[in-house]
Chain A
Amino acid sequence: DAKTTQPTSMDCAEGRAANLPCNHSTISGNEYVYWYRQIHSQGPQYIIHGLKNNETNEMASLIITEDRKSSTLILPHATLRDTAVYYCIVRVMEYGNKLVFGAGTILRVKS
């Protein structure tokens, strides 16, 4: 699975959009971009995933560049409860394929 690079930490004001970048320059054509987050002491929570088209669900939007070498997770209206570590993962969608979590980005939402 391709490696990813994320900023170590980011701050965001409550109510504003949080834009979390991820670089995955070695991504292969059959690899998906997944985003998870982990709030302190809880299990990782699935947010969204995509292959090459932009995706949106009730939690977030995922914007993938045309060359697929980078992506951005957008939380449209961040709240204090969105403070967490956010993980960008690139992987082949294959049953039994492990998730490889890097260091992630610590997002702090401040009032």
Chain B
Amino acid sequence: GENVEQHPSTLSVQEGDSAVIKCTYSDSASNYFPWYKQELGKGPQLIIDIRSNVGEKKDQRIAVTLNKTAKHFSLHITETQPEDSAVYFCAANGGTGFQKLVFGTGTRLLVSP
């Protein structure tokens, strides 16, 4: 089955800096890769996703890149703000017909003013 690794486990940046979180996946059949933000005491909230037919997607300060050959994908947050502080999870779907999302272990991002 699919296995997703995520790094780093914690990331501290200064406000205005960029943050990069990286994930690798094991199943080459995976074709859908969402990123979720989880604030304390809340459920995961989708912030961006990418499908395997594209290599990059951007939404304002957030971008995701996908390298299918290397089986890794990354989240890039530019001009970080204190409200970006949260736990971020990457996930992969294991390919068409698989209905579950397999999550990474999470990255705790702390943005200091």
A binds B: no
